[in-house]
Structure 1
Amino acid sequence: MGIWIITIFIISYLIGSIHGSKVAQFFSGINIKAEGLKNSGASNAAVVLGMKYGILVAFIDIFKGVFVIIATRLFMQQNGSFSSLEQDALLYLAGAAVILGHNFPIYTGFKGGKGTASIIGILLAIYWPVGLIGLLLLIGTTILTDYLLIGVFVFYFVFLSEAIWFSEGYIPVAIASFLFVMALILHIENFRRLARKEEMRISTFLKRKKPSL
């Protein structure tokens, strides 16, 4: 069991370190980590390069979360020696490794994004009905409040709730709690801007002109 934990974690971390922002940089010629919000997340890609690049980055970062969870589940099913308790623990461990790889990629000096798109893909792949509810709540809350930040943390509450109510054992809950706290820390500046009423509103972003590339 121990060797599989290490193997799954390392592979998931490396896959998580693959950033959609690099694809956006390839097509646009602009390094979004040096512009705008100074990170490689999908929201910053949209701010710097426009909505189509934001969608591209989001799709890639969501997909890697989906891929890792599905691949890990298939591996465990084919191996056949994992209990349901171990399966849930390993799925959440793999998901955490993806987020760590996304947020702190080893080949970019451990400076990455904030993991929002990838956490969406992870929850959709772990249990898609709850993931879909979380995604709808994220979109709905963002529209109602005009702040993506609030929608993101509604989604994190759904993610944590899934671990509490639908997963076996304490490990998924511990991992989901860790990811929630890490997201809070990484978004501290966003909350400060929100308190100062300087956080970007979705309506303001949508009214911006597309950059000429």
Structure 2
Amino acid sequence: MDAIPHIAAAVVGYLLGSLPFGWFVARCNGVNIFEVGSRNPGATNVKRCVGKGAGNLVFALDCLKGVVATLWIRWLPATAESAPAADPVVLGLIGFAAAMLGHVFPLFTRFRGGKGVATMLGGTVALMPLAALVGAVVWLALFYGTRYVSVASMGLAVSLPVSVFFLHQVDARFWFASLLAAFVVYRHRENVARLVRGTENRFEKTRADGNGGSAR
């Protein structure tokens, strides 16, 4: 019985993460997001290929997935019989990790997903709000300084374990944030290769292209 909350957090988190908001919003606008731009169903590609409003909506919804997947189990009414015995932080991290996997490898679009930055930010807001605030500042500074969404996204991810180290005790959140940073950087490996070659596109105006920035 003690494993049930952990299993529930993982299953619900994965299903929430799998919700294909990028594909759905683009489809509602008559666009198959898997056939345009970077062919990635993330907020950046939707913004480039569909429009600013659609891209911002996808970003907000993907971010919300991370928040809900991390916190939903805490919102259940607690009783002496049903209250989870597990640490709520651990349950939140399980839901968070599952949502990230669901977003990157979504069940509903044949495991073709985004890079997880918006969902990562949502889960971080839920579990590590101060680190999320620092990460948002880092993202804005790097984006407006370079106009590369990929650079800003990787900078946000890498800032998380550093912020958690200085803002919290070195507990499960620090190690999770470190793994998360490595995972996000790995998901951006093609962007890194384009940056090295000097072929990565800066984010300027909404347009469809094949080498777009980070598709969240």
- Same fold per superposition (TM over 0.5): yes
Task: Please state how far the C-alpha of 1:21 moved relative to its aligned partner.
Answer: 1.1
The 3 A distance-change label for structure 1 pair 149 and 77 is farther
Query: Counterparts of 2:115 and 2:77 in 1: how far apart (Å)?
Result: 28
Task: Please state how far the C-alpha of 1:6 moved relative to its aligned partner.
Answer: 1.0
Partner letter of residue 60 of structure 1? L
Identity of aligned residues (%): 27
Residue of structure 1 in register with 2:158 after alignment: 157
Deviations 1:113-172 (A, max 9, x none): 000111111111113232122112211211012211121122112322355455667543
Query: Counterparts of 2:150 and 2:207 in 1: how far apart (Å)?
Result: 22
Deviations 1:56-103 (A, max 9, x none): 1101101111122231333497765546xx222221111111110000
Q: Over aligned residues, Cα RMSD in angstroms?
A: 2.4
- Equivalent residues in 2 for 1:74-85, closer than 5 Å: 74-75=75-76, 80-82=83-85
Residue of structure 1 in register with 2:107 after alignment: 106
The 3 A distance-change label for structure 1 pair 12 and 195 is same
- Structure with bigger RCO (C-alpha 8 Å, 6+ apart): 2
Residue 193 of structure 2 corresponds to residue 192 of structure 1: yes
TM-score, normalized by length of structure 1?
0.85
Residue of structure 2 in register with 1:29 after alignment: 30
| Structure 2 SS opposite 1:110 | coil
Residue of structure 2 in register with 1:4 after alignment: 5
Query: Counterparts of 2:207 and 2:154 in 1: how far apart (Å)?
Result: 28
Query: Counterparts of 1:107 and 1:61 in 2: how far apart (Å)?
Result: 15
TM-score, normalized by length of structure 2?
0.84
Residue of structure 2 in register with 1:39 after alignment: 40
The 3 A distance-change label for structure 1 pair 132 and 174 is closer
List runs of 5+ in structure 1 lacking aligned partners. none
Task: Please state how far the C-alpha of 1:51 moved relative to its aligned partner.
Answer: 1.6
